Chain A
């Protein structure tokens, strides 16, 4: 796992996050340890972890977006909510940005998932990354999530890949997202009932649902190539 030595990559977008062409990097909060086999790069300004966009939908969106990359990311030191945390690939990079080493940025990331198998990996990660709070719960059960995250957040990400994922996202935004906060929603077309008019029509329908529920859609990012049949909606709660 010994990382390469090299120059600090690319330019800084937010503290702890750099972009160099299509390569994106976060400042490793647990130096000399990688999470999912990603490349490590040791520099004079700390160790950088390469964010693999084909393993992380948020990573893919950061590479694909046509707006400012920083718009998609939460601010360091804030509290965020992540629904459908999975095995912690994306979570680990978010933690690098939000919390940093030994949580020196005082951030907090609540990672919700329903599968004990995923939580096993997240718990392991949480031990070496203070500020990461794993939660074994159904993202639809707001009382449980609200007990652990009593404050509303400015940044919410959802990647649950199950039927009615749009409704889950909308109700979660209403309950947990501050006015003006960013909600990112990864829609897996295959999880919804098959639409006779095809995938495009389904994406449009979802966009309509988001708009009519009082969300503003800032950008729709097609993740095809990194993650097929997926669309990432970048919304703002108004």
Chain B
């Protein structure tokens, strides 16, 4: 029952350091102040309790003495006009210091947040991949300028290693079994090319390490979703949705088109066809399927992924292999139901 509708009501008003009892006229009837030793630890403890909607020890004592009273935090607008004991300088100082410690603890807690860690890892690996590909294609073009007859495009990973380990262009030419040009690179120029290839190799190694780390973190943070979609795709969906909890709360239709925002909003604004898949397209069940069933499979898979994300976020049982197999069976069923492209519809 709301306090104001009761007759002869009294209120207990409390903050972290004292509690008072007032009547409807705002007269103070009883006071209980924190008398124990004030340590920062205890202050923080109290502030956290009150912050979560709990009450202080003083308020509890008063509540025992005034069992009919309504409990309210100091400053609550429902209370009648009243005087509340003012905090002195020293107390405000102690409160401010405790608040700063709490805030610092809150910030360092963010270091353990897997959502934030995944975001940095994933974005870093995207940036590294972009840098690596750019550098690698320059390396190939650069080498091909000096060795026009070599087929250097074939195995780029091996090319980087061969260049980095060759003392001169002649060595590389013998290794690749091709002819030397009339004028080759100068000594410093060759060294620059070798250093460039060395960093291409280094970037590749770092990228692999980074992706292993994403796999590791995602399989712990999103075990069911990782099992269904693979840890890299699971991590991408989680980052794209701004965190596991938000991903779990998204409808499956949104999970389906996460990553296709541009196409989706262009659909809303101009009426272009809506996207059938976003990041989820990376999954081989969709990208390796013929075009006329990709939309169906991605819709089904997104719905299952959404369930898996909810299992992870709300702490349900981790998906077993049998659950993933059931989804795969459904995927195969869709495939066999639609062996040929629909008539009259073109890609």
Q: Which residues of A contact B (CB under 8 A)?
A: 106, 108, 110, 116-117, 119-120, 122-123, 126-127, 130-131, 133-137, 141-144, 146-152, 174-176
B interface residues, tally (CB under 8 Å): 27
Whether B16 and A147, one on each chain, are in contact in the complex, defined by CB atoms closer than 8 angstroms, is yes
Answer yes or no: B263 CB below 8 A from chain A CBs.
no
Interface of chain B, helix or strand or loop or mixed? helix
Q: Which residues of B contact A106 (CB under 8 A)?
A: 89
Q: Which residues of A contact B84 (CB under 8 A)?
A: 150-151
A151 to B107, CA, bound (A): 26
Whether A174 and B77, one on each chain, are in contact in the complex, defined by CB atoms closer than 8 angstroms, is yes
Task: State whether A108 and B52 are in contact (beta carbons under 8 Å apart), knowing that A116-B106, A146-B75, A147-B16 are contacts in the complex.
Answer: no
A150 contact from B16, B96, B100, Cβ within 8 A? B16
Answer yes or no: B104 CB below 8 A from chain A CBs.
yes
Task: State whether A119 and B74 are in contact (beta carbons under 8 Å apart), knowing that A130-B96, A150-B15 are contacts in the complex.
Answer: no
Sort A-B residue pairs by CB-CB distance and give the 4 closest, nearest first.
Answer: A116-B110, A150-B15, A136-B106, A144-B51
Answer yes or no: B73 CB below 8 A from chain A CBs.
yes
Q: Which residues of B contact A (CB under 8 A)?
A: 15-16, 47, 50-53, 73-77, 84, 87, 89, 92, 95-96, 99-100, 102-104, 106-107, 109-110
A148 contact from B76, B89, B99, B109, Cβ within 8 A? B99
30 A–B pairs (Cβ distance < 8 Å), ordered by A: A106-B89, A108-B92, A116-B107, A117-B110, A119-B107, A120-B107, A122-B103, A123-B100, A123-B107, A126-B103, A133-B95, A133-B99, A134-B103, A136-B102, A136-B103, A136-B106, A141-B51, A143-B50, A143-B52, A144-B51, A146-B73, A146-B76, A147-B47, A147-B50, A147-B51, A148-B95, A148-B99, A149-B75, A150-B73, A175-B77
A10 to B16, CA, bound (A): 44
Most chain B C-beta atoms within 10 Å of own C-beta, residue among A108, A130, A143: A143
A137 contact from B51, B53, B73, Cβ within 8 A? B51
Starting from the known contacts A146-B76, A175-B75, 15 additional A-B residue pairs (CB-CB under 8 Å) come to: A116-B106, A119-B107, A130-B96, A133-B99, A133-B100, A135-B99, A136-B106, A141-B51, A143-B51, A143-B52, A144-B51, A147-B51, A149-B75, A150-B75, A150-B87
